[in-house]
Each structure stands twice: as structure tokens, then as C-alpha cells.
Structure 1
Amino acid sequence: MTQNAPLSARPIRLSAHVEQRVLSVEELKALGVSPARAAAQCRDGGPWQQPLPGVYVLHPGPPTGEERLRSALLYAGRRRGATETGYGEGVVTGLAALALYGFSAAPPLGSLDRIDVLVPRTRRLRSARYAHVVRTAELPSPVRLAGLPVAPVARALADAVAGIGDASAAHRLLTEAVRGGLCEPDAVVRELSRAKLLGRAYVVHAVDSLTAEGRALAECRLYEMVRTYDLPEPLWNVDLRLPGGPHLGGVDAYWPDEAVAVELDTGAPRHSAPAGDRRLAGHDAEWSAYAAEREHLEGLGVTVVHLTPKRLQEAPEQLATVVRTALMAAADRDPAAYVVILPR
């Protein structure tokens, strides 16, 4: 009589080492559970559920936010007919990724109507329920958070902005990324440009705000580095020019006796990345002029030290050593050309 009992009446006891409550059909097969037996567990009143094709949640209650995320990754990452287990080629992005990074401006995982998962463009896979498939020509190298493959912050931000279409929400997310030191402004701009989002007026406005804020934060870190590591006090934010001659460019810090300048590479003049051929041409011309100014300064004997905001945050002591070495080396160099120093 027991042999004729329906499959759903026979509870499945998995090995004690199986702690994960979200498994794909391939993972269940590897544990000795056939697709038919798994499906039987999901009948009305059964102990399991199948929220997405080929994915099972091994309890009857509503899936948690993390379980929904794992199930979306399993659905998007697995290939039909494949035997491998795990998340395969899926990479979580968008608001779900930002929630994993701890963004306060991102909704909690449990409240998200959809979970964006990146897959290769060649995959033939449709979105299903809350699992939103995003095809891409090039998968980013994922960051592992809680064992899950997650897109880097800049990519996740761009995908989130593309999906929400809300000016205030986009501004909050972008601002939090910069203020929290989670991402550099130029990295965000590159991803927004790649996603062709810089044609949206509210995105351009948000980018201008975040790059300005990013520069202000970098300047504060530069001030702190100089004073923490006892570097000589420079002239801050000055313009340099030849006597009666052309403008040579502005620098963030300048030691006139040693002819050493520090320039923060914050992406400026790349702040407002272009949209359209006309803006692109203007952008390229602006950047070429910027590079020419730097080369001109160095040709006049001025040592220009380029510092990135990310390195200033991560390795200020190392960068202070670089600046100190440049100052000490001034005595061994030929004298630099005389330049006029003006407030910027």
C-alpha cells in the first residue's frame, strides 16, 4: 500500500549537510531527487514550492528576500539541459545588487518587485515573474557578496538608474555611492555613458552634482593627507601661467620652491560625459587641451603628481611618500621655468 502512495505523500529528507533552502532542479538531481518527485512536493498543501521554472524553495511559506534573489540567480544562470549546479553565468545587478551592498537609498530585497540578473547576450532566456533577465554583450567581473555573484557598484548603479526612471531616486543612489566612498564618480559616468543614459536630463543633473561632490571629498582627503603626514604646506588651488604668456592650467596644490604640483584626477573635464556627436567632439577637444596643459607644465620643469580619489582614500600614506619624494628630488633637478601663481 505504501508503494501506491502518491509521490507528494512521501516527504523527502535531504542530507544533513544541505543547508540551502533554494535549489535548482540540477542540484536536486545531484542529491537523488528526480524532477517528478520535486514537482510532487509542490502540489497544493505540499512542503515545497516552485517560484520559477527549474527552481525550488524547500519550505511552504513565502520566500524571503534573499531566497527570491537566490532563486532568480539560479533561474537566470542555469542553462537548459546543462548538468552544472550553482549560479552559472548569472550576475545580480540593479537595485537588488545595491541592496546587497548596503545602500540605504535602495529598497530592501524583500520589497523588490523584480530582481535584475545579467546574462550573456547569446542566452535565449525570458524573464519570469520577479526574475528580470538583462542581456549584455560583456558580463562584468562579479564581486562575491554572501557567496552571490554581484555586479560592481558602478555597473549596478547604471542598471538601477536605467530601470527606475525616477529623478529623485537616481540622485539619492548616486549621491550615496560617492559620499560613502563606494564608487568613484568617473566610474559611474563611464557606466552611465555605456548604458546611453546621459541623454536623460535628470541623469546629467545628478552626474554634475555627484562629480562636484566627489571632487570636494577628494580635496578634503588631500588636505588631510598633507597635514596628517607632515608635508610642507602648499599653495592650494592655484592657476599657473608664464609671465605675460599663456595660461598653463590649474592645480590643486603647488610647492613653488620645489616646482611640484599635485593634480587630482577626478575625471574633470570628463565630468559631463557627452551625448551625441557634437558634444563628443567638444568633449574630446576639451580633454586634449587638458592633457596638453599637463605636458606643457612638465616641459617647463614642473613635476606634476597625479593622485586619484580612490587611492587617496585607500593609501594616503603611500601617496604622501610619493609627494615627499618629489619634493626632495627637486634639489637634484634643473631649475624650473619661472611661472606666475594666481588664485584659482
Structure 2
Amino acid sequence: MPGIVLLSREQPNARQRVEAALLHTADLGVVTGFEAARRYGLRLAEPHGTVHVLIPGSHHIRSSRFTIVERTIDMPARRLLAGVPLAAPARAVLDGVRRIREADPVRSLLIETVEAGLCSVGELSAELEVGSRRGTALPRAVLRELEADVKSVPEAAALAIWNRAGLPPAERNVKIYDAHGNYVGMPDSWCDKLAMAWEIDSYAFHFGRDAFRKTLHRNNRYAAAGIIVVQTLPSRIRDEPEKVIAELQAAAEAAALRPRPDVSVAEVKRAA
């Protein structure tokens, strides 16, 4: 019969899964979740082997082997992309991440969504308020982090570590200058009360020849200005959080015992 998609016993490819899902929902459905996110170009939306499709709440269609059918009273407008009806990016991504129970994949995908320009943090938050409440606790927590201007998974985890350490407030996106107005650095986290910097330095970004040289020069500037700096690998934030907390607390104690150096901060202006 025309238009029927026959699935073999082998695992169908993405195109076959989407065609079968739309046929299964009698073309009432709108593709959402990870399949829609991938079609919007998000690299971190990993394949899950199923297609998540939204249908109007007045219809009753069961999920099938390769299709998750979700009835909703808040049916999104269709956005046709390569002939496939998709939910808007904010709805699609949130429909995907509310089925995840691990924080880092949720952070990664939401950050990628915002940085790719598909939608803003505000649009994601607004979508959470009108959409399904199921599985939204973790996305809500991550969006609060994004509202605090966290830009990477290690940075988000670092914020939690800093708060657990019970240290004075830290800032991001500030430039540090010495007493003569010379630029010192722009640390990942800066505690102005203690004049203490925390740098999350990964091998990938800091240990090539040029990057290593820049890191050494940066640390020398910190030392010359009297700034105490803690350097931490991102993997240690994940694997050794208690040790990292102890190191930060020890550095903070040392910083509090010495006279505060004459350094000042300037907030980095960001594009609107």
C-alpha cells in the first residue's frame, strides 16, 4: 500500500523510525525529544533508538516498538524541517531531558541548545512552566545554574563544589588588575574578599605547547600580584570532590591570614 513503511527484522535507521512513527500516529504526531533535537543540529542529543511523538490529548494511540506516543493538551505548532513536523527547540529538548536522571547529560544538552542559539534560557524556563511537570526537577535545577551564567559542565559542577565548601561568594567573568592597573588574569572563579582565584584547567585546553606557556605566564602574574590561586582538573571535580573542597578551604584559610593584596576587578561586558 502506498505510504506504508515496512520495517525489517533488522534495526531500522533514523529515517525509517521517523516515517514509521508518523504513520503509527496517523500523521497527527509532532516529533519531539532527542530525535527532534538531532534534527535541529544538536550533537549531544544521543540516539535512543525510539522516536518521541506528541499527539492531541483527545486521541488514543499506544506507543509501539520504536515510537513513544505522548498525549498532550498543550500540542505544539508544527515546524517542518526536511518534511518532518518538529516541536519547537525548547519543547523538543525539554521533552528529551526530562527522561534523563543524570545531571551532566542534561547540563550538556541544555548548554548546547542555548549556545547554538536555538532558544534562550528564558524560553526554556517558560516552556517548563507550561509543559508537563513529569521529570522536570533536574532540568529546573540546571536552568537555575544557567541563569547564574554557567557555561560548561565542569563550571556548573564547580559552582556546586564552591557552595559546599562554605566559602565567601565567588564571581565569574571578571578581570583582575594589579595596583598599577596591569592586567593579571580572568579566573574561572574569583573570591574578591580573599583575593583568591580558582582555575579549572583541563589537559585538553591548557597543556598544548602554547596553552601551557600561557598558563605559566598567568600563574606568574597571579604570584607577582600576591593572589592565591588553586588549580583543579575537571576530572577531580567529578572523582574527588571532597579533596577539592579541602584544598579550597585550606587555600581560603591561607588567604585570610595574609594581608589582602592591592588588586581590583572589572566586570567583563558581554554582548547583548
The 5-angstrom pairing of residues 196-207 of structure 1 reads: 196=133, 200=137, 202-207=138-143
**Distance verdict in 2 for CA 1:153–1:199, change over 3 Å:** closer
**Aligned partner letter, 1:168:** D
Which residue type is aligned with residue 68 of structure 1?
R
Find the counterpart in structure 2 of residue 277 from structure 1.
none
Note the alpha carbon deviations across 1:182-238, whole angstroms, 9 max, x for none: 1111110011222226862x33331022223399xxxxxxxxxxxxxxxxxxxxxxx
Q: Provide the rounded CA distance (Å) in 2 between the counterparts of 1:134 and 1:58.
A: 22
Query: Which of 25, 34, 41 is 1:102 aligned to?
Result: 41
Q: 1:185 aligns with which of 116, 121, 135?
A: 121
Asked if residue 120 in structure 1 is aligned to residue 56 in structure 2, the reply is yes
Deviations 1:151-210 (A, max 9, x none): 00010112112222322111111111111111111110011222226862x333310222
Matches within 5 A, 1:193-342: 193-194=129-130, 195-196=132-133, 200=137, 202-213=138-149
Q: Secondary structure at the match of 1:158?
A: helix
Q: Give the distance between the partners of 1:186 and 1:122, measured in 2 at CA.
A: 30
Task: Report the Cα distance in structure 2 between the residues aligned to 1:159 and 1:63, rounded to whole angstroms.
Answer: 23
The answer to whether the Cα contact below 8 Å between 1:192 and 1:198 also exists between their aligned partners in 2 is no
Q: Deviations over 1:81-138 (max 9, x none)?
A: xxxxxxx321000111101111111014xxx232110000011111011211011103
Q: How far, CA to CA, are the matches of 1:149 and 1:66 in structure 2?
A: 13
Q: CA RMSD in A?
A: 2.5
The correspondence of residues 21-60 of structure 1 with structure 2, limited to 5 A, is 27-28=2-3, 55-57=4-6
How many pairs does the alignment contain?
A: 152
1:157 to 79, 93, 107: 93
Counterpart secondary structure, 2:5:
strand
Larger radius of gyration: 1
- In structure 1, runs of 5+ residues without a counterpart are 1-24, 29-54, 79-87, 216-308, 313-344
C-alpha change, 1:149 and 1:189, in structure 2 (3 Å) is: same
Code of the residue aligned with 1:176 in structure 2: it is: E
What's 1:338 paired with? none
Q: Take 1:95 and 1:199, find their aligned partners in 2: how far apart are those partners?
A: 16
Q: Is the 8 A contact 1:179 1:214 kept in 2?
A: no
The whole-number CA distance in structure 2 between the counterparts of 1:163 and 1:183 is 20
Q: 2:20 aligns with which of 62, 67, 71?
A: 71
Q: Is residue 125–residue 140 contact of structure 2 (8 Å, CA) maintained in 1?
A: no
Gap change, CA 1:59 and 1:198, over 3 Å in 2: closer
